[in-house]
Structure 1
Amino acid sequence: MKNMASILAIAAFAVSGCATTGDTAMTAAPTTAPAATSQSSDLAELVDEVRIPYDVFTLPNGLTTVVHTDRKAPLVAVSVWYDVGSKHEPKGKTGFAHLFEHLMFNGSENADGDFFEPLQQVGATGFNGTTNADRTNYFETVPTAAIDRVLMLESDRMGYLLGAVTQEKLDNQRGVVQNEKRRGDNQPYGLLRYEVNENIFPRGHPYFHSTIGSMDDLNAASLEDVKNWFKDHYGPNNAVLVLAGDIDVATAKEKVAKWFGAIPRGDDVVDPEITVPQLAADKEKIIKDQVSTTRIFRMWPIPGETSADSTLLSLAQTTLGGLASSRLDNALVRGKGLAVSVSSWAWTNEDAGVFIVQADLKPGVERATLEAALDEEVAKFIAEGPSADELARSKTSIVSGALGGLESVGGFGGKAVTLAEGELYHDDPGHYRKQLEQLVAATPASVRSVVQKWLAKPRFALVVEPGERTEGGENRGGAFTDTTGMGLNAAPLEYYCNPEYCNPEELGTTSYQDRSQLPAVGQLTDLDFPDIERATLSNGMQVYFARRDAVPKVSVRVVFDAGYTADSRDAMGVQSLMLQTMDEGTKTLDATQFAIAQERLGASINGFANLDDTSFQLSALSTRLAPSLDLLADFIRNPGFRADDLGRVRAQQLNRIAAEKKSPGAAGYRALSQIVYGDHPYGIPGSGLGDATAVEVATPATLEAAHDAWIRPDNAQVFVVGDTTLAEAVRLLEASFGDWKAPATPAPTKNFDAPIPAPDARIVLINRPNSPQSVILGARVLDNRGSDDNTTLYAANEVLGGSFLSRINMNLRETKGWSYGSRSSVSSSKDRLAYIIQAEVQADRTGDSILELEKEVTNFVGDYGVTADELERTVNGNVRELPGQFETSGAVLGGIVNIVKYDRPDNYYETIADKYRALSAEAIADVAARNFVYDDIVYVVVGDAEVVLPQLEKTGLPVEVREMEQ
């Protein structure tokens, strides 16, 4: 359902996802901070940087194509958006749009077979498809030389699909979609989507039912039904094609006409008439769920993406509960200490949406107390609106996020998405500019006015409390709509177009192209990984730098050899608690002041860890790098560790530990890591949240000791990627970190010599009653370490379970239809790696699924090793996707970190292509036989023991039953 259309809304949603969960006492902002009025000119300059030049042309059959040229890499993002979503579904046909999204990946008349196969062969990255209430899209980023092949595939499923849609494919994908529904329903708070739809939108409203649909409607879908659905909705005149990247308009014009021109125009799609609903009066509902804490929601119907109020509502939700310094955080988390977390966000569809405020109850607080305080703060915001300074910070944060999104040409949120949404929803690919201009012009009064217009109306109050569910999602998601009130679209649309390229009369009618075989892939360009430059600060800190100037931003990561394995076994969770408490500010800035400082700079600073490393990352505007680095240095070097802050952060981490124990996947991994690694440092929960007892007894002195021991300059490395130079980066780093001296005590070390438990193949069943799916996890510890050359090992895993086309996924998902997704992986860490299997399957097929996993693993290491086709796909995919993997600065930063962490040569990613080209079936078979030893695999299954236990007893493996951790 979520449709945060446009670059502005995507950025606002990203900002809202960063809301702090800390709760220090609120104090005044630093007097040295710039006033809001002084930021307006800077903001205008920033907005001027957010530009995506484009041209548009339209074929005679109605297909609209938007083209953006970006030559930074030999890549083209291809994105096809159809104006069909779940709002178009009448009663009895819910879930059809999403079901057809799945079917359109299963092959077409001239390319029968799974579409992921040819996409992986050409090295596509970021390829997928999604459906929401308003539209369906398909997208991939491919090497420039593969553009004809991809356009042939996209045009074939647009114009030549139905002959390849069979009853077998329908039955299979119906099962996959139903397991996708079960997977969502099985999560804590998994019924929220139904509650929002059914209580905000009245019966008969096109947004009343969920995009996933109802089980009954999916079961009833016939082959004739789905074919008619395609005929009615997927014509070229109901689609937008975006090509963004290493392509010009003249080339695009020729190729699009060649591949799409002969597809006949379809019927005009009938759009439902949609209004923003009005609740007659406040209404409230309390439900039970397998959750760790009570969550309180307040929801209001609001207009959709096409409304003039949309931008102002984005600013409102960012200010109220989206920023780290938001009103709700300051009042309810940092101030009164009633909630462990708060946020405000929006589900925004094309025609209507929902403004949502939520708060998680702090243990020991009465729900009525938090509800009253939450309602009071919302009422105050409705009455007063944002202050000028709050609004200025919201604007800067949103625009900074938008700039970061411009670096990617495709994927889920790149430039192609921005252009497609503008064209589809506003008949204007450049609509994002209008939204940004509206954002700059917004005033506290204009935001207050729109808030009062929509949030002063009746609202829906939902409370989700811990307990057994009274109902699941099996019988929910259906519609009560009919086809009355629907009319034909308005007159044909007119598009902005460069007259040099896009006169429709000049395109003519293209003759049918030869589709008997896929077009050849042209000459491919190997990866040119950026040069890594090095320097050493005066205090000995090593600096690694790569220049990337596609956007005016710089990313900095300071990495310390610490991580969750820095915790002793009697202090598990301290490293995580230290990081969370550091978010509460420095010795001179409390949490609110620290958040405000970031927002004014358009910067983002956060700390995170994995098993091996603790890292601190800065995303900064290149024009504000100096003060941003000063803020990062203060954050790393001078944490506040105030007792009051720790008390509140402790409550938050204890809440996250409790939530982890309620989530089926997270609970399974908590058990699995300890079972297979034992006393080895990796035998701890991978989340790093640790043990509640250790978290409860930690003091500020505990955190200071952990910080002083591990966060020190002689244990650090600095990585910088972006729009600056090494000389400038070193100059600024010297100013912020150069005087940081290492203590006289030696740096601590970690002991990886602890023995790994001998494998004991069995099933540990964790009982989670009323689970419609079971989570199956299996693992064995390998002899390999992260610094080894694991190319062949990763290739073997990719064939067996590491990709969509892998044997495990194709069996349980694409053949059996028992799972939405099943996979295997090899962990990524410095010391002993693990081979891990994960499958989420419908509960009544748990035992059968384990038997199928056994068959796939044993066959692969036995007589049915890698085939010639699998070897070719693995080699081609991994070689050809390298340029796409490193399109963005963030990806380059991660690559350099890995090169240094695992002691690789600087040209590692440029030489890895030859390693893949040299792979043989024999080498893969050898590494698989040594590592994928089925008799050593230990399973953890999280599911309903009453349903699952009788099935597991038939697998031949010993079964141990445990209850969920409390």
Structure 2
Amino acid sequence: MRFAKTLTAVAVATVLLGGCQATANTSKAAAAQQQTVQQNLPDVSIPYETFKLDNGLTVVVHTDRKAPIVAVNVWYGVGSKDESEGQTGFAHLFEHLMFNGTENYDDEYFGPFERAGATDQNGTTNSDRTNYFQNVPTPALDMALWMESDRMGHLLGAVTQEKLDEQRGVVQNEKRQGESQPYGRVFGFLAEQTFPEGHPYSWSVIGSMEDLNAASLDDVHQWFNDYYGTANAVVVLAGDIDVETAKEKMNHFFGHIDAGKPLQKMKSWIAKRDGEKRASMEDNVPVPRIYKLWNTAEMGTEDGEYLSLLTDILAGGKNSRLYQRLVYDEQIASSVSGFQYARQLAGQFFVIADAKPGVDLRDIEAIIDEEMARLIAEGPTQEELNRVRFSSVAGFVRGVERIGGFGGKSDVLAAGQVYHNDPGYYEKTMAILKGATPEKIRQAAERWLSDGAFVLDVNPQPRYTTIEAQADRSGVPPVGDLPTLDLPELSSFTLSNGLEVHLATRSDVPTVQMNLVFDSGYASDVDAKIGTASFAMSMLREGTPSRPALELSRELETIGTNLFTSASLDTSNIRMDSLTTNLDQSLDIMADLIQNAAFDQEEIERKRGIWLETIKKEKASPQSQAFRILPSIMFPEDHPYNAPFTGSGTEASINSLERADLVNYRDTWLRPDIARLVVVGDTTEAELKPLLEKYLASWEAPASAAPEKVFAGVTAPTQPRVFLIDQPGTPQSTIIAGQFAPSGKADNAEVVDVMNTIIGGSFTSRLNMNLREDKGWSYGARSVWFDAEAQGLLLALAPVQTDKTAESIQEILKEFNGYIGDEPATAEELEKVKSNKTARLPGAYETKGALLGAVVDMLEKEKDMAWLESFGQRVNAMELDTIQATAQDVLTPNALTWVIVGDLSQIEEKVRELNLGEVTKLDADGNVL
């Protein structure tokens, strides 16, 4: 287990003295420094109780009553490491099969959960475990436990050859989709090359195509019988639940299920390497990249934690040594990163860097080696250790605000139990972090990273018994009455400079989040150089005269504050997440950025180089490439939305940017009179307003009139159009079908949202059920409604296997035409969406970030908290004929604009034979060929 980054840090002076006396004093200073660190790292407590059913099922319970929701997190101690050569990919394939119905509920498993308003629902597989998790409203807990126990104890009768074939195809498309991305084949290759033959980590989690094709129904049934017994599972219940209730319910639903057979499990196989090994591979990638890695200590060891801290120091963010050398000073790399890949049998230490054009990877490797050698010889500084340690613990603290999902409390407890037989193992990790010293980290680096680079236990099983089945398996238990949504009150006030402020007080954890929203965004680039808004907002984070870029980044890390500046289509944003104790200092920094951004020329040039590399990477990714080109096809040249939806601009526009352009953007668009500050967190108006006045009163609007975005009218196409973009050799085609739709401010916006959810906006929507579940041609297909301010778009998106491109287009058309024709939305479909959108409300605003985003959107629509709280009532009031009429009014399947990215040598002829409309071939920049 590794804590993520960020937490409050205490500035500690480093005293450098000379002579014998200096050694003693320095030692005392270091000891005092370490004690200060230990005193200031927060104590994180996740109270829990553990019990075991008579059949061996381990249950962990954490009570958290802040919201009427329960996280149900089921972990099985089986992953790809439990496979054998020739049968790879079974663990992941079975994860998919577990969502396809059981003997008592032979249907898609997402259905009841969607109706119940489940959130954070998913299933994942890694090398060491498989998990299934979801958050459900408290009244839906019986339903969730019935469903999870049904697939744990009543699955095999529903796993048919047809389902196996279907999900095999879905997994293979997932594999194709992953491998078609830039660098998508790398980690499978690294696994083969860095572990010896037969090592459980020498194959990828997703497995090989050959093994997936060879998997028989008997093989799959045997896999379930071998690994999915109760003695190999852990269920964590976190949230609105207590132990006594949990015992009754777990016995009721799970007590009759068999324990499964005794298992033999390997404990450790590190496979530390000697000497250096090199390999090279070619792929469809935008820039050269180097991976340098070492086989290291396994998960749960002190060395594993020390090495994780070391990766942050070496290559984790702007203040890391390699970022400063490679990206900032030498400017020979556009990105650099590193991580300690912690797994049960072994770990791996990765360093990854992307070269800038014309740079030899050996030059980058030489600097990696220099900095690694320096760390092995001297160790990190105390300041570096303090910084990454605080950052790591802060991320952990923020994660456990949630009861479910990745990094939430149930996830932490489940990982501790499965990986270490201790739900509270996170406390041991915290103790290791607190006890870490620069010398301990240096010694760990010397043990594991001095050599072996790639430049890629038996205990008898207790006798378990079962009880007579108690749960009624004739149907899924109904969900009880849902609680009424009760959100914090929103107080509003105006600062002396005219800035509008809205505050929702929530004090569950001591943090404050805020978003300063400007009415600008990409759309303000009209008559300017496209990409200006995004580039200028990004430059705000690159320092002020009193806070150069690296010092700014270091200061934010030291106080555990996250601060992001960005632009979207219609708005520009400054978002900040601060610990309450450091809000004063955090506001000081934010105000400095708003008013005094340096726009230093050297920083501009450094960012320009990285920015151009980002555009190159966007063009190499099929979906982002399509989103770059689609706006120029849909919108007239003078429309503010006629620019890449990525916001990055073009090479020409970014190359032409001058410092004056960025200053002009700041002075024109970042004004308090066209801004709104929304705050959610552990503060009150009485506390917050004086702080805001202290730091923002001097930020005043210019005397000139506030700028406005001018939106030209659009004319919807009356005929279909097809645009083809060639990506030779790609195993998938990316299909996008677009049309105009209402804006997010339309009176019927919520109806449009529900209408879209049925056709393509959920897992069980028509498009996904067709192309993924029925046909097995795609890993996932969907439709997205971009509810932009001036003009909305509705897009169908489907990455599909190359040989099914034309057929997939026909299926998309069939679904759209049927939806407005002889197969309109049904009462059952509408009821499912209503159930999902209303039942998920109790948990929808569990985190401050979720509430903040909802309030920002609400205020953009000129609504209040009562409107937000009454959302469920409005959805439940929707009638079927309204949904059907809206579909007929909005959807135009006979005038769609198609953008298809793929290997044209394989797909062009068949696409043309469809006779959809005029076909135009475009290059990577959208120019007509």
Q: TM-score, normalised by structure 2?
A: 0.95
Q: Which moved more, 1:162-171 or 1:376-385?
A: 376-385
Q: Residue 96 of structure 1 contacts residue 218 of structure 1 at CA under 8 Å; is this kept in 2?
A: yes
Report deviation, 1:491: 5.3
Cα offsets for 1:572-627 (capped at 9, x unmatched):
11112212322221121111101110111011111111101111111111111111
Q: Does 1:559 align with 2:499?
A: no
Specify which of 656, 660, 679 is matched with residue 697 of structure 1: 656
RMSD, aligned CA: 2.1
Q: Determine if contact 1:530/1:546 at 8 Å carries over to the other structure.
A: yes
Aligned partner of 2:23 in structure 1 is none
Displaced runs of 4 or more, over 6 A = 35-39
Question: Which shifted more, 945-954 or 247-256?
Answer: 945-954
Post-superposition offset of 1:565: 1.2
Pairwise CA distance, 1:523: 2.1
- For the residue of structure 1 that corresponds to 2:547, the secondary structure is coil
The residue correspondences of 1:74-85 to structure 2 (distance < 5 A) are 74-85=68-79
C-alpha spacing 1:42/1:526, structure 2 compared with 1 (3 Å): farther
Structure 1: tracts of 5 or more residues without a match: 1-5, 16-27, 463-486, 494-503
**Structure 2 CA distance for aligned equivalents of residues 809 and 836 of structure 1:** 14
Residue of structure 2 equivalent to 1:168 = 162
Q: Which amino acid aligns with 2:700?
A: K
Offset at residue 366 of structure 1 (A)? 3.5
Deviation at 1:43, TM superposition (A): 4.8
Q: Partner residue of 2:323?
A: 329
Q: Distance in 2 between matches of 1:583 and 1:52?
A: 35
- Counterpart of 1:298 in structure 2 is 292
Q: Give the counterpart of 1:210 among 174, 192, 204.
A: 204
Per mean C-alpha deviation after superposition, the further-off stretch among 748-757 and 925-934 is 748-757
Q: Output the amino acid matched with 1:201.
A: F
User: For residues 879 and 717 of structure 2, what CA distance do their matches in structure 1 show?
Assistant: 31
CA contact (8 A) 2:304 2:340 kept: no
Distance 1:345 1:788 in 2: 48
1:595-610 alignment runs, 5 A limit: 595-610=553-568
Would you say the 8 A contact 1:629–1:733 is kept in 2? Answer: yes
> Does the aligned pair in 2 maintain the 1:787–1:903 contact within 8 Å?
no
2:189 to 188, 195, 201: 195
SS across alignment from 1:334: helix
The one of 99, 112, 117 equivalent to 1:118 is 112
- CA offsets 1:733-790 (integer angstroms, 9 cap, x no match): 1111122111112221111124345344122110100010100011101244435341
Aligned-pair CA distance for 1:42: 6.6
| Contact 1:361–1:367, Cα closer than 8 Å, also in 2 | yes
User: 2:4 — aligned with what?
Assistant: 11
Q: Aligned AA for 1:89?
A: E
**Deviation by residue 1:354-382 (Cα, 9 ceiling, x = unmatched):** 21111111224333322222221222222
Q: In structure 2, what is the equivalent of residue 617 of structure 1?
A: 575
Which of 872, 880, 887 aligns to 2:831? It is 872
Q: What letter matches 1:95 in structure 2?
A: G
Q: How does 1:488-507 map to 2 (within 5 A)?
A: 490=459
Q: For each residue in 1:145-201, what CA deviation from the matched residue of structure 2 results, as whole angstroms up to 9, or x when unmatched?
A: 011111010000000100111111111000000000000000011112112211211
1:19 alignment partner in structure 2: none
* Distance apart, 1:843 and its partner CA: 0.3
Determine if the alignment matches structure 1 residue 550 to structure 2 residue 508.
yes
Shift of 1:542: 1.0
Aligned with 1:309: secondary structure? helix
Aligned to 2:45: 51
C-alpha separation in 2, matches of 1:333 and 1:922: 58
Aligned to 2:677: 718
CA distance in 2, matches of 1:510, 1:615: 58
Match of 1:893 in 2: 852
| 8 Å Cα contact 1:47/1:436 also seen in 2 | no
Output the amino acid matched with 2:164. L
Q: Which moved more, 1:341-350 or 1:868-877?
A: 341-350
Alignment match, 2:923: 963
Whole-Å separation in 2 of the counterparts to 1:427 and 1:860: 51
Which letter maps to 1:130?
T
Hey, what's the Cα distance between the residues in 2 that align with 1:38 and 1:702? 49
* 1:315 counterpart residue number: 309
- Superposition pairs for residues 340-739 of structure 1, below 5 Å? 340-461=334-455, 490=459, 509-568=467-526, 570-679=528-637, 680-739=639-698
Shift of 1:394: 0.7
Which structure's relative contact order is higher, taking Cα pairs within 8 Å and 6+ residues apart? 1
Q: Which moved more, 1:345-354 or 1:59-68?
A: 345-354
Whole-Å separation in 1 of the counterparts to 2:410 and 2:870 = 31
2:879 aligned with 1:920: yes
- CA deviation vs aligned residue, 1:663-698 (integer Å, no higher than 9, x gap): 111111111121112332112111100011111121
Per the alignment, residue 750 of structure 1 pairs with: 709
- Note closer, same or farther for the CA distance 1:41–1:682 as it changes in structure 2 (3 Å cut): farther
Q: 1:569 to 1:182 in 2, by over 3 A?
A: farther
- Structure 2 residue identity aligned to 1:202: P
Q: 1:10, 1:674 → 2: CA distance?
A: 43
Which residues of 2 match residues 81-230 of structure 1 at below 5 A?
A: 81-230=75-224
Residue of structure 1 in register with 2:888 after alignment: 929
Q: Identity of counterpart residues, as a percentage? A: 43
Shift of 1:831: 1.3
Q: Distance in 2 between matches of 1:319 and 1:51?
A: 27
Which amino acid is 2:119 matched to? T
SS in 2 for 1:111: coil
Amino acid in the other structure paired with 1:585 = G
Q: Distance in 2 between matches of 1:930 and 1:217?
A: 48
User: 1:261: Cα distance to partner?
Assistant: 0.4
Q: 2:567 corresponds to which letter in structure 1?
A: A
Once residues 36 and 84 of structure 1 are traced to their aligned partners in structure 2, the CA distance between those partners, rounded to angstroms, is 44
Q: In structure 2, what is the Cα distance between the partners aligned to 1:783 and 1:242?
A: 43
Q: Given residue 885 of structure 1, which amino acid in structure 2 is its aligned partner?
A: A
Secondary structure of the residue aligned to 1:777 is: strand
> Quick check: 783-792 or 768-777, which moved more?
783-792
After superposition, the C-alpha distances for 1:510-536 in whole angstroms (9 at most, x for unaligned) are: 543211011122221022122111111
SS in 1 for 2:296: strand
Q: How far apart, in 1, do the equivalents of 2:353 and 2:380 lie? A: 20
Going from structure 1 to structure 2, the CA distance change for 1:254 and 1:508 (only over 3 Å counts) comes to farther
Q: Is the 8 A contact 1:677 1:781 kept in 2?
A: no
Q: Letter of the aligned partner of 1:957 in structure 2?
A: L
C-alpha deviation, 1:272, in angstroms = 3.6
TM-score (norm 1): 0.91
Shift of 1:41: 6.4
Does the alignment pair 1:833 with 2:827? Answer: no
CA distance in 2, matches of 1:508, 1:628: 57
Match of 1:22 in 2: none
**Structure 2: unaligned runs, 5 residues or longer:** 8-12, 17-28
Match of 1:253 in 2: 247
Tell me the CA shift for residue 554 of structure 1: 1.1
| 8 Å contact kept, 2:41–2:390 | no
Counterpart Cα distance in 2 of 1:931 and 1:578: 36
Query: Is the Cα–Cα contact under 8 Å of residues 408 and 415 in structure 1 kept in the other structure?
Result: yes
CA shift in 2, pair 1:103/1:419, >3 Å: same
SS in 2 for 1:461: coil
Corresponding residue number in structure 2 for 1:242:
236
